[in-house]
Amino acid sequence: MDGLKQFAPESALGIVSLLWGALVFLPSMLMIFLGASSFAQGVLVSSILMTMATLISSVRKPAAVQHHDFIVLIVMMSLMLFVLVHYALINITVQSHERASFTRFIVGYLGFYLVLLSAFLVAKAVSNLPNKILKDASAVVLFCLLVNVLVATSRIDFFNTGNIKPSFMFMEPSHIALTASSLLMFWALVSSPFRNVLIAMLVMLWGIYIQNLTTLILFLMIVIVSVRVSLWLFVPAAVAMLSVLIAYYGVGGLTYFVERVSFTPDSPNLSVVVYMQGVDNAFRTLESTHWLGAGFQQLGIATQDGPYTERVLDMSGINSNQYDGSLTAAKLVSEFGIFGIAALITHFVMAIKSFFDLRKFALLSKNAKENYSFSVVLANTVVVCSLLELYVRGVGYFSPMMAMLVISVIVLYIKFSSKQIVADSPDFFEQTKLAH
């Protein structure tokens, strides 16, 4: 944990970049090269690597156990116990054992434990990283993502994935957007105004070129959060994006984007139908389980299907989103019912707070920003960007974004409980006031 400080800056930078890169790239690469069915395998392998690295560094230089460590561990154990008890009670009181898949539950439960353990250890390490190492490591990973995007612009399916929009080391453009979102927003915030605008424009142009709504939503989120002036700039940013869309495709070429946001029962767009399938099945499962949910990892097995599932099968021949529900919010509600809704409300409140914290940071001077803990900034960007995976394009619990979200929540708790959000600047809050 604190053990990373024992390494030379170059070595620490290399270790952080390698582990971060593994979490970003490995889940998709295992799907492409080894035929993994989801991100889960790659996330679990990355979690093992990160756990081993942090444990080895801790053995070399043990870190003092803090009061907040016990609080985090108690919350983690309570969460694990809740998931177990909830699953047991649901299968005793609401539905028969025959409908549930104990294998999916126990495998997911053990994986969940591993991700939580890894997240705790990594959060301890990240919360103590110097700003320079964190910023440089994020630059290395972001550069690799940029190279991936540049190669993907060729639209060549190098590895015969059969995807309509091949994305080199990723299965599809949405996966790039979800994985890179917090990194892009972080760099837009800590960079110069010129780089801020450059990052936003590159995201917009890529989203328009590849025709990906998730990427365009990310562009608008980056502008809203990181712009150095009033949020009224959001309006011209949206107008600029629409103008470029029309100039590039023409009015008649916007059919994809129009269909993508037209949530009608007879929509011809598969992505829209899959999205509505997730929402519809979540409400049906809520009703059938008396608002208690079907249990952890039971979506698609012990949950209710509706007419949209039949439409997905008719349109694509497979129910590719059977287990992830199209958006993670729908999966949470389907599996945990009212408790999942409570979790979503809690997260939304956190996201609002993170948004306003990031807005304050965006308006600071360059010197004031250097005195602020970048680990807090990065954690806040993850909390905000996780809205994309929860409500726009989900891939299940075991994804790079969800792993980073758990890490970020722990980092924020550690930093705020120890009052370490500011590095060495007692005048920070005064500068914040002046910036407003």
Look up residue 167 and give its DSSP letter: B
Residue keyed to tokens 């997260």: 347
Alpha carbon distances (Å) from 238 to 261, 364, 385: 15, 24, 18
Q: How far apart are CA 300 and CA 283, in angstroms?
A: 14
Written as six digits, the tokens of 432 are: 């914040």
- Distance in angstroms (rounded) separating the CA atoms of residues 238 and 78: 44
Please state, in angstroms and rounded to a whole number, the distance separating the CA atoms of residues 322 and 436.
Answer: 48
Give the per-residue pLDDT at 14: 84
* pLDDT at residue 436, rounded to an integer: 39
For 146, residues 6+ apart whose C-beta sits below 8 A from its C-beta are: none
CB 203 within 8 A of CB 219: yes
Of 269, 258, 265, the C-alpha closest to 279 is: 265
Which pLDDT does position 4 carry in this prediction? Answer: 53
Structure tokens at 26: 């490995």
Inter-axis angle of helices 328-362 and 173-190, nearest 10: 20
Contacts of 133 (CB under 8 A, 6+ apart): 9, 12, 13, 16
With beta carbons less than 8 A apart as the criterion, state whether 27 and 93 touch. Answer: no
Q: Which residues pair with 170 in a beta bridge?
A: 167
Distance CA 329, CA 88 (A): 22
Task: Supply 174's token pair.
Answer: 């949405």
Q: Contact at 8 Å (CB) between 403 and 47?
A: yes
Token readout for 296 is 């952890």
Distance CA 21, CA 29 (A): 12
Q: CB–CB of 428/422 below 8 Å?
A: yes
Q: Tell me the backbone φ, ψ of residue 186, rounded to 5 degrees.
A: -60, -45
User: What is the distance between the alpha carbons of residues 20 and 46, in angstroms, rounded to a whole number?
Assistant: 9
What is the rounded distance in angstroms from the CA atom of residue 176 to the CA atom of residue 169? 9
Q: Is 45 helix (H, G, I), strand (E, B) or coil?
A: helix
What SS3 state is found at 100? Answer: coil
Question: Tens of pLDDT along the chain (436 residues)?
Answer: 455 555 545 677 888 899 999 999 999 999 999 999 889 999 999 999 999 988 887 766 666 678 889 999 999 999 999 999 999 999 887 665 557 889 999 999 999 999 999 999 999 988 888 999 999 999 999 999 999 999 999 999 999 988 889 999 999 999 999 999 999 999 999 988 888 889 988 999 999 899 999 999 999 999 899 887 766 666 777 777 778 877 777 766 677 777 787 788 788 888 889 899 999 999 999 998 899 999 999 998 888 888 888 888 888 888 777 788 889 999 999 999 999 999 999 999 999 999 999 999 999 988 889 889 999 999 999 999 999 999 999 999 999 999 999 999 999 999 988 776 655 433 333 443 434 3
Polymer length of the chain: 436
Instruction: Look at residue 428 in the predicted model and tell me its pLDDT.
Output: 37
Q: What is the pLDDT of residue 432?
A: 39
Identify the DSSP state of 414: H
pLDDT at 314: 86
Q: Supply the pLDDT for residue 259.
A: 79
The gap from C-alpha 101 to its chain's centroid, in whole angstroms, comes to 27
Distance CA 330, CA 303 (A): 11
Q: What pLDDT is recorded for position 157?
A: 94
